[in-house]
Amino acid sequence: MIDVIIFSKSSLFIFSLQIIIHNNMSVDKNKINTKLFNSFDEFNNQLDNNKINIVIFDIDGISKEKQNIIFDKIKHQIRNIHLLVFCQYEEDSLYYHTLSEVTRSVVSKTAPVTEITSLFNKLLIWVSKNRDDNIPLDLSAQSQPMLSKREKEVLHLATMGMDYQSIAEHLNITRKTVSHYMSNIRDKYGYKRNANVYFRY
């Protein structure tokens, strides 16, 4: 059995996601146990359940402090829990890439249904094959890539929430140069623009 918990403050999003998942799954539906939450506290408490395989976390409307509570709890779990984050941010936004440092699986709500379906199916198949081995999902991820001094500066400012133009003004460089640095950073971390290629196994 694959245990999945889903959190969102939006009942409509949960409903839509359920339809997407259950109408397009490549894994036997009877082998998936899904629990839904719109209460943050109940969701947070449920993470103490040692049977969870997949956590789907819609961060929209959730403060960064509360997001970090969930991220830290999952990070320090003994079991290998796979986190799938949904957000309103576009793939080329800075906060989207900040989230990509937390999990290899970040999906913009503007992504096509086919992309969401492909990503979730890959995750389900991977978990069904490897859940007993506790093998990390991002096998090809480089956790500590070598960044240049300027790339580190750009990344630091990006994680503080600055947009490209603000970073450019702060570092006295052009916006195009900032975009170039961010592209290099994504490449070094192994990030791609399309969420459905985040899982490479």
Write down the mean pLDDT value for the chain.
Answer: 78
pLDDT digits (tens, 9 = 90+) for 45-66: 998 877 788 899 999 999 989 9
pLDDT digits (tens, 9 = 90+) for 59-103: 999 998 999 999 888 888 766 788 899 998 877 777 777 787 788
193 pLDDT band, cuts 50/70/90, is very low
User: Is residue 191 one of the residues assigned to a domain?
Assistant: no
pLDDT digits (tens, 9 = 90+) for 127-186: 777 655 444 444 333 445 677 889 888 877 776 667 788 889 999 999 999 888 888 877
Q: What are the tokens at 142?
A: 């480089």
Burial environment of residue 164 by CB neighbours within 10 A (0 to 12, 13 to 18, 19 or more): buried
User: Is residue 102 one of the residues assigned to a domain?
Assistant: yes
**Relative orientation angle of helices 164-171 and 149-159, to the nearest 10 degrees:** 130
User: Is residue 118 one of the residues assigned to a domain?
Assistant: yes
- 33: domain CATH number is 3.40.50.2300
User: Is residue 105 one of the residues assigned to a domain?
Assistant: yes
- What per-residue confidence (pLDDT) applies to 40? 96
Please give the helix or strand (H or E) that residue 17 lies within, else none. helix 11-24
Higher pLDDT, 190 or 42: 42
User: Is residue 69 one of the residues assigned to a domain?
Assistant: yes
pLDDT digits (tens, 9 = 90+) for 7-46: 999 988 888 888 877 777 767 777 788 899 999 999 999 9
Higher pLDDT, 177 or 196: 177
User: Is residue 175 one of the residues assigned to a domain?
Assistant: no
